[in-house]
Amino acid sequence: MAAIKIKSLLQRGWLTMLAACMLSVAVQAAVPTLSNAPVKKDAVLRGDATCTGCHDADDEFPVLAIGKTRHGVTADNRTPTCTSCHGESDTHINKPADAKERLKPDRTFGKKATTTADSQNSACLSCHQSGARMNWQGSQHQSADVPCAACHQVHTGKDKVRAKATQPETCFACHKEQRGQVNRASSHPILEGKVSCSSCHNPHGAVGPKQLVKNTLNETCYTCHTEKRGPFLWEHPPAREDCSNCHVPHGSIHTPLLKARAPWLCQECHLAQNHPSTAYSGTGIPPRGAAQQVLANGCLNCHSQVHGSNHPSGARKTR
């Protein structure tokens, strides 16, 4: 790596450098002078030599890894140049005489950048406004002035928000509540890297509630839980309307991802005569008792078809 080479050279000390400089003068007599040297080549993008002359791997803002990404494929004629995103940045390249320090490029990126989120994002949207990003304007992240670069890293071979295993780290930087929830006893395989936040949510804006990838919450759940789609002969109204009437998506202490525990969860809606309206308490739990509506699966010990039944005798969700 170039950075390592530079460090090792520096470690040789001032004496070596002094000798080197003297030698340099001698050597340069026999080779073209700096002013006659060939102009530095572009490293990746068309015209990037102006930038990569300073912003190499050892710089505070290393940029060369752009070549490892799709943004670095110059054979694709859509590929941008440095200035496509950062602007011409004349005052950055040529520091004005009266400026105390070098001015920043016309457009800088990131959460802490001085460029506004809208201006940052306009650079990205100039190419990425279609498809899954069509509803960016007006989305929750856009409204909250979240720049694309708050989540995406452009100058790196692996943008961690685009990998299932590492994406939650980025999302949890703001969504703290969900970070706690996914650590609960019952959760989707998010920490295991098999389901990512973007498996269900479209952070770039969506038509569905909570920026879900599908148009409705249930449609989103049905992408993996297709067996619950029906339609069924005997529908269970809260399940047909919205899975989140009974379930929570990110984590629960009530398996499987339930808002509350049966039988009380069921009794929030079912209060018919006899056992549906009975008061259940510790009297139904060993050693005091063993109520079939309380232990094991609770109400589901008998009424197991809570997502709907297609059995002609399943009106009570027992078939």
**Cβ partners under 8 Å of residue 307, min gap 6:** 228, 230, 232, 236, 239
Shortest spacing between CB 218 and other proteins, in angstroms? 9
48 or 83: CB nearest other proteins = 48
Which residues pair with residue 309 across a beta bridge?
Answer: 234
* Distance, CA of 36 to chain centre: 48
* Distance, CA of 242 to chain centre: 25
Tell me: does residue 194 bind other proteins (CB under 8 A).
yes
* 259-288 residues near other proteins, rule: CB under 8 A: 259-261, 264, 267-283, 285-288
Tell me: does residue 15 bind other proteins (CB under 8 A).
no
* 78-107 residues near other proteins, rule: CB under 8 A: 78, 101
Shortest spacing between CB 108 and other proteins, in angstroms? 11
Kindly list the distances between the CA atom of residue 28 and the CA atoms of 6, 12, 24, 33, 35, in Å, as whole numbers in the listed order.
Answer: 21, 22, 6, 6, 11
Q: Which amino acid is at 302?
A: C
Binding mask 217-256 for other proteins (x = CB under 8 A): -----xx--xxxxxxxxxx-xx-xxx--x-------xx--
Shortest spacing between CB 104 and other proteins, in angstroms? 8
Kindly list the distances between the CA atom of residue 121 and the CA atoms of 50, 69, 82, 145, in Å, as whole numbers in the listed order.
Answer: 24, 19, 15, 9
Q: How far apart are CA 253 and CA 184, in angstroms?
A: 6
Tell me: does residue 151 bind other proteins (CB under 8 A).
no
13 phi and psi angles, rounded to 5 deg: 95, 170
| Largest separation between any pair of C-alpha atoms in the chain | 105
At residue 254's C-alpha, the angle toward residues 248 and 258, to 5°, is 30
Binding mask 153-172 for other proteins (x = CB under 8 A): ----x-------x-------
Judged by CB under 8 A, the stretch of 87-95, 131-139, 146-154, 196-204 that binds other proteins is: 131-139
* 44-63 residues near other proteins, rule: CB under 8 A: 44, 54, 56-60
Judged by CB under 8 A, the stretch of 80-88, 90-98, 146-154, 310-318 that binds other proteins is: 310-318
Shortest spacing between CB 152 and other proteins, in angstroms? 17
Q: Which of 70, 88, 94, 110 binds other proteins (CB under 8 A)?
A: 70
Shortest spacing between CB 97 and other proteins, in angstroms? 18
Per the CB < 8 A criterion, the answer to whether 156 and 65 are in contact is yes
Judged by CB under 8 A, the stretch of 89-97, 126-134, 146-154, 196-204 that binds other proteins is: 126-134
* Distance, CA of 211 to chain centre: 13
Q: How far apart are CA 40 and CA 31, in angstroms?
A: 16
Q: Which of 15, 36, 97, 176 binds other proteins (CB under 8 A)?
A: 176
